[in-house]
Chain A
C-alpha cells in the first residue's frame, strides 16, 4: 500500500510537469490550430540557457533566464516563421515546426556534448520521509508550481482581456478579428506563454528525481510524452491538458513499477491509443462533425 501511495504521489508530480507541457501545446493549438512539434526543443533551449548562465547568475537567476529565453524562442518562432506564412494551412505549419525542432535540438545536443548537467538545483535529490513513504522533493515542488501556474493561467484565461481575446479567437477567428481583436497579438502571446511553461518544466525534467538523467537528448524524448498528454485530454481543451498530463504521469509511474521500466514509455502511448480509438478527439476535445 505504501509503495502504491508513493507511486501515486510521484506519478502526480511527474504528471504535473507533463500538464505544464501539454497546456503549452493546447494554448498554441487553440490560438493557431498549429500543433507545435518543436515543444521539445523549447524545453531543451530553456534548459541550455540555465546551464550557460548559472555560473554567472546563480541558480535562481539562471532559471529565470532559462524560462524567459524558452518563452522568447517560442515567440521568435511564431513571429519570424509562422506569422510569415499565413497562407500555409495549419498542418503544413506543424511540419515547419518539425524543421525548427530538428535544428534547435541538434545544435543544443551538439553544444552539450557529453556533459549532462542536472538543473533542479534547489530541490533535486533531497527525498524525505512522510508517514512511512519516501517522497521526492522535485515532484512535490512540481505539483505546487504547476498548481499555481495552472490556476493563474485559468484565471487569466477566464477573466483577463487576453484570455477573452484568446477564447474569442479560438471560437471564431474571423469574427474575433472583426470585433477588433488583434489576432497576431493573441497568437504571439500564446507562443510566449507556451514557451515559458516549457522553460519551467525543464527545471523539473532534467533532475535526478524525475528522469535520473541531466539535460540531454533524453530530455527531449521525455518532453515528447506531453504529446499523448495533450492528445488524451483533447487538443483544444485546457482542462483536458491538465487531466491528460496527470494520467500520463500516473501511467508512467505505475507501469514502471508494476510492469517494467522499459515498458513505461510505451504504456503511455498505449493508453493514448486506447482512448483515441474510443474517443477520436480525446477525452474533452471538441468532436468534429461533418455536415453534408
Chain B
C-alpha cells in the first residue's frame, strides 16, 4: 500500500458516529484546527481592507487550482502541465455563458452567472475527459509533454476565437457574479456586519471562500474514499491495479476530468478576479506555461497528493507576489523600474523555483510531510495502533 498519501488523506472523523472508547486525539485536534481556521477566514473581512482581501482571493484561486492539480499529479500520478489551459477554458466558458446576448462583437448566452459558473466547471471537465484517450495511453513524462500541447492549443484558441474570448488586444469583460439575484458587487442591498459594510470586496471574499471550502471538502472526500484508492492504485502500479479490478482507463480519465473541473473553476474565478478575460499574446501570461508551472510548484511545495499541502503551496506561490506588492507600497521596496528591476512577481518566482529544488532534494513529501511529522511527534505518547 502506498504509505505517504494514504495516511495523509484520512477522512475527518464523522461526528455523528457513536463514540468509540478511544478516539485518536490527533484527529480531534486536526478537526478543531480546521474549524478554527475557517472561523478566522470568515472573520478576516471585518479587519482587512479591500486590497488585502483582493490578495486573499488570489490565493484562493491558487488553492482551488492546486487542489485539482494535486489530485491528478499526486494521487493519480499523472503529470499534467495543462492546468493553464483548463483555466482559460473555464474562464472563457463562464464569460461566454453569462455574457449578454446580442453583442455583435462577441457571443454571449445571457445565462444566470451562478449557472454559468457551473457550466464553466462542466465545460472544463468535459475537455479534460476529451483528453482522456491521450491521457489513458501515456505515462509519466510523455503525458506531461503531451498535456503541454493543450496550453499551446489554448494559446491559439485565445488568439483566433475572438468571438468567444474577445481577442488578445481588448479581451472582454465577464458578467458580474450574482447568486439567486444577490449581486457580488457594490449594488443591491446595503449590508453591514458589526459595523463593517459588506461590499464588493467582502462579498467576493465570501464567495471565493465558499468555493474553496467546497473544493477542499470534495477533494478530501475523493482522496479518502474509493475513488482516491483507485487513483493511488493506478499511480503505484497500473498492472497490479488492473488485476485488483480497478479500471485503469476510467481511473485515469476520471482523475483528469476532476482536475480539469477544478482548473475550470479556478479559471472562472480568475476572470472574475481580474474582471476581464484577456487571452495571452505569447506563451507567457495569465494562461501560459508559466501558470501551469506555478500550479505545479504549489503542488510540489505542498507535497504531491496532499490537499492541505496544496493550500499552503497556493499561499506561498500565489500569495507571495500579492503580499510583497502590498508591503512594497508601504516600505518602498521594488521602487526601481526599467531594466533589471526586481519586481514582486520576479522575487516570488525565485522563491518558488528555489523551493521546488529544496523540496525535491531534502523533503520529497513537501510541506505536508513536515507537517505530518510534527503532528505525529506531538501525539506520540500513545503508541499508534497498527491496523
Chain A residues at the B interface, C-beta cutoff of 8 Å: 35, 81, 84-85, 88, 91-96, 98-103, 106-107, 110-111, 113-115, 217-218, 221, 224, 227-228, 231, 235, 260, 262-263, 265-266, 268-270, 272-273, 276-277, 280-282, 288, 290-292
Q: Which chain B positions have C-beta within 8 A of A228?
A: 145, 149
B300 at the interface (CB under 8 A from A): yes
Q: Which chain B positions have C-beta within 8 A of A276?
A: 134, 137-138, 142, 146
Residue of A102, A288, A291 touching B352 (CB-CB under 8 A)? A102
CA distance A103 to B354 in the complex (A): 7
Contacting pair A106 B239 (CB below 8 A): no
CB contacts under 8 Å to A, within B227-260, are 238-239, 243
A217/B284 contact (C-beta < 8 A), A100-B353, A273-B146 known: yes
Residue of A93, A100, A262 touching B159 (CB-CB under 8 A)? A262
* Inter-chain pairs besides A100-B353, A107-B350, 7 sampled, C-beta below 8 Å: A92-B364, A94-B144, A102-B350, A102-B352, A110-B340, A113-B338, A277-B137
B69 at the interface (CB under 8 A from A): no
A235/B350 contact (C-beta < 8 A), A85-B361, A221-B282, A277-B137 known: no
Q: Which chain A positions have C-beta within 8 A of B79?
A: 91
B219 at the interface (CB under 8 A from A): no
CA distance A35 to B142 in the complex (A): 10
Interface of B is mostly: helix
- What are 6 A-B pairs at a CB distance below 8 A? A88-B361, A95-B356, A99-B353, A103-B349, A224-B289, A266-B149
Smallest distance from the beta carbon of A114 to chain B beta carbons, Å? 6
Contacting pair A269 B238 (CB below 8 A): no
CA distance A114 to B133 in the complex (A): 43
A88/B360 contact (C-beta < 8 A), A99-B353, A231-B142, A276-B146 known: yes
CA distance A228 to B350 in the complex (A): 27
Contacting pair A235 B141 (CB below 8 A): yes
Interface of A is mostly: helix
Our count of residue pairs bridging A and B at CB distance below 8 angstroms stands at 136
Residue of B133, B283, B297, B349 touching A106 (CB-CB under 8 A)? B349
Q: Name the residue of chain B whose CB is nearest to the CB of A276.
A: B146
- The 8 A CB mask of B265-305 against A (1 = contact, 0 = none) is 00000000000000000111000010001001100100000
B48 at the interface (CB under 8 A from A): no
CA distance A54 to B361 in the complex (A): 36
CA distance A64 to B137 in the complex (A): 43
Residue of B138, B142, B149 touching A270 (CB-CB under 8 A)? B149
Contacting pair B353 A266 (CB below 8 A): no
A99/B360 contact (C-beta < 8 A), A35-B141, A91-B141, A227-B145 known: yes
Smallest distance from the beta carbon of B292 to chain A beta carbons, Å? 10
CA distance A235 to B139 in the complex (A): 13
Which of A102, A262, A269, A280 neighbours the largest number of chain B CB atoms within 10 Å of its CB?
A: A102
CA distance A96 to B159 in the complex (A): 32
Q: Name the residue of chain A whose CB is nearest to the CB of B350.
A: A103
Smallest distance from the beta carbon of B333 to chain A beta carbons, Å? 15
Q: Which chain A positions have C-beta within 8 A of B142?
A: 231, 235, 276, 280-282
Smallest distance from the beta carbon of B297 to chain A beta carbons, Å? 8
Q: Which chain A positions have C-beta within 8 A of B284?
A: 217, 221
